């Protein structure tokens, strides 16, 4: 189930959500052609944690970046507007 940032904070902690937002993202190799995210490249970042029941879990953040912007960035991913991408991120607890 996808969560908004606010929902992710309610299900985990603000500290954990902030940690995952500060984690380097990686390409997911997910094909977005033919989906609502057509024209975007998907990235994700994860942080592991132990929930209130003592279970090992992972908080995953998924962001979408305009593919043209990714291509224009070349090898320097710091040229991507990560702030906007993270502001529109989806979260899930695995």
With H, G, I as helix, E, B as strand and everything else as coil, classify residue 37: coil
Domain residue ranges of the chain, discontinuous segments joined by +: 5-93
Q: What is the per-residue pLDDT for 36? A: 74
How far is the CA of 59 from the CAs of 47, 74, 79, in angstroms? Answer: 5, 28, 26
Task: Split the chain (94 residues) into runs of 10 and give each run's mean pLDDT.
Answer: 95 96 90 77 95 95 91 88 91 96
Q: What Cα–Cα distance (Å) separates residue 5 from each residue in 18, 45, 66, 82?
A: 10, 14, 20, 15
What per-residue confidence (pLDDT) applies to 17? Answer: 97
């Amino acid at each position: 189930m996808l969560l908004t940032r606010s929902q992710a904070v309610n299900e985990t902690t603000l500290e954990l959500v902030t940690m995952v937002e500060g984690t380097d993202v990686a390409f997911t190799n997910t094909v977005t052609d033919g989906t609502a995210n057509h024209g975007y490249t998907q990235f994700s970042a994860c942080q592991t944690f132990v929930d209130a029941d003592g279970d090992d879990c992972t908080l995953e953040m998924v962001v979408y970046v305009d593919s043209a912007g990714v291509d224009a960035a070349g090898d320097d991913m710091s040229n991507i507007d990560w702030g906007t991408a993270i502001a529109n991120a989806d979260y899930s607890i695995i």
